[in-house]
Structure 1
Amino acid sequence: MVSDNGSGARPYGGVDAADRQASRRARLLEAGLDLLGADVPKIAEVTVRGICQQAGLTARYFYENFADKDEFISAVFDGVIGDLAAGTQSAMQSAPPGQQIRTAMATIVRTVAGDARIGRLLFGAHLSNAVVVRKRVESSALMAILSGQHAGSVLRIPDSDRIRCVGHFVVGGVAQAISAWLNGEVRSAPDRLVEQLTALLEKLGDPSLYRD
C-alpha cells in the first residue's frame, strides 16, 4: 500500500499526493471560516468531528494537517488576516500619491462587506473564543507597529512613543468602527464608511501631533 502523504506516493486521478494534501487542507480551512464566521457561531461546540463533517473529510485528514483544534483555529485566523494584510498592502503600493489611506480603507471595508464570514471572524463582537481573542490581540499589535512605521515614513519623522500611540489608536479605532458597522450600530453604505474613516485618519497626518 502506498501512503497518501509520503514522498513516494503515486498520483491518484492525475493529482500527486502533495497537491491532494494541500487541497484537503484548503477544504478544512474553508470549513473553519464557515464555522467561525457563521451568523451565530457556536465555536465552543465545534469539534474535530464537526469540522471534518463541514469539510467532507475524515478525522485522519484533519490530524494530517493540525495537531488539535486550537492550532486549526489559529491557522484559519492567520490565513484570513494574512490575505487581508497582503491585499491591502498591495493596493496601497499601487495607489496614486495621496490616496493610500483611502485605498487601504476601501480594501478592508469591501473585503469584509464582500464576505461576511471574514468580517465576523476579524471584527465580530459576539465571537469570544479564546484563540480568536488572542489572535486578534496579536494581529492588532503587529498592525499598530506597521501603521506607526508607515506614518513615520510618510511624515519623515523618527520612531517615537507618539508615533506608536497613534499606530495603536488607528488600528483600534478602525477595528471598533468596523465592528460597530457590522453589528448595525453604525448605519452607513460601504463607500460612506470608507469616506468617513479616510477623513478621520487623514487628520492624523498633521506633523504637529508628533512633536514633543
Structure 2
Amino acid sequence: MSQVRPYRGVEAPQRIAERRRRLLEAGLDLLGGQAIPADLTVRAICSQSGLAARYFYENFTDKDEFVGAVFDWVIADIATTTQAAVSSAPARDQSRAAMANIVRTISDDVRIGRLLFSAHLANPVVVRKRAESGALFALLSGQHAGSALHLEQSDRIKAAAHFMVGGAGQTLSAWLAGDLDFTPAQLAVQLAAFIDQVADPALYRD
C-alpha cells in the first residue's frame, strides 16, 4: 500500500483536519453572519473557506451533512466549556457559572449566538438540530437536577428541565435581537436566578 507523503512537512491527516476546520469556520461565518444566505451553496462555502470543491466532498457528502456538522461542532465546544465551568464552581454557584459561560461565548462570537438562537435563521437542518440539542440538554438537565435534589426522575422534573432549556434559549434569542438591555454579566445573573428558583425541591413533591 502506498503512503501519502508529508507536504511541506505536514502529514496528510493533519492537512485533512485543517481543511475540515476551515470548512466548518466558513460554515459558521455564513450561517452566523449578519446577512443570512437565502440558499447555502457548496460554491459559497468553498469560496468562504478558500478551498476547492473536492475538499468539501472529501469531508461531507452534501450540504445538509455539512450544516449538521457545523452545528454539532459548535454545540460540542460550548457543552464542553460549560461543563468545565460548572464542575469547577461551588454547588451554589453552578447555575451562574453555566450561564456566564454560555452568555460569554455567544457575546464573544456573535456567529455562535446567531447559529444557536437567532429566530431569523430558518435553515431546516439548523431548526432540526436545535430541537434535537434542546431535547438532549433538557434530558441532561433533568438528570442533573434529580441527582442534585436527591429525587427520583418524574414528569415534574422533566417539565422543569424543558422549561429551563426552552426559557433560557428564548431569553438569549431576545437578548441577541436587542429586545433586552442587559450586559452579558447581568444577563447571566438573571438567567441563573431563574434557574435557581426552579431548583426548589418543593416544586417536585405532592
| Deviation (angstroms), 1:7 | 7.1
Gaps (5+ residues) in structure 1?
A: 1-5
- Counterpart of 2:180 (choices 170, 175, 186) is 186
Q: 2:48 & 2:116 partners in 1: Cα distance?
A: 21
Partner of residue 47 from structure 2, selected from 46, 53, 76: 53
* Rounded Cα–Cα distance in structure 2 between residues aligned with 1:47 and 1:188: 36
Structure 2, unpaired ranges of 5+: none
1:140 to 2:131 alignment? no
Deviation at 1:174, TM superposition (A): 0.1
**Quick one: distance in 2 between partners of 1:64 and 1:121?**
24
Give the structure 2 partner of residue 176 of structure 1.
170
Deviation string, structure 1 residues 82-139 (Cα, Å, up to 9, x no partner): 1001110111001123110000000000000000000000000100010000000000
> Which residue number in structure 2 is paired with residue 126 of structure 1?
120
2:84 to 90, 114, 121: 90
Task: Give 1:3's aligned residue.
Answer: none
| Match of residue 197, structure 1, among 181, 191, 196 | 191
TM-score (norm 1): 0.95
Identity of aligned residues (%): 61
2:25 aligned partner: 30
Relative distance call for 1:165 and 1:12 in structure 2 (3 A) is: same
Q: Which residue identity does 1:144 align to in structure 2? A: A
1:8 is matched by which residue type in structure 2?
Q
Deviates more, 1:91-100 or 1:75-84: 91-100
Q: 1:19 to 1:205 in 2, by over 3 A?
A: same
CA distance in 1, matches of 2:11, 2:194: 51
Whichever residue aligns with residue 40 of structure 1, its letter is A
Work out the CA distance in 2 between the residues paired with 1:196 and 1:7.
59
Q: TM-score by structure 2 length?
A: 0.98
Which stretch of structure 1 is more off in the superposition, 115-124 or 190-199? 190-199
* Counterpart position of 1:10: 5
Whichever residue aligns with residue 23 of structure 1, its letter is: E
Aligned to 1:21: 16
Q: What is the letter of the counterpart of residue 191 of structure 1?
A: A
Q: Which residue of 2 aligns with 1:103?
A: 97
Stretches of 4+ aligned residues off by more than 2 angstroms: none
Q: 1:114 aligns with which of 104, 108, 118?
A: 108
How many residues are paired up? 206
Partner SS, residue 98 of structure 1: helix
Does the residue aligned with 1:10 lie in a helix, a strand or coil? coil
The 10-residue stretch of structure 1 (176-185 or 91-100) with the greater mean CA deviation from structure 2: 91-100
Give the corresponding residue for 1:70: 64
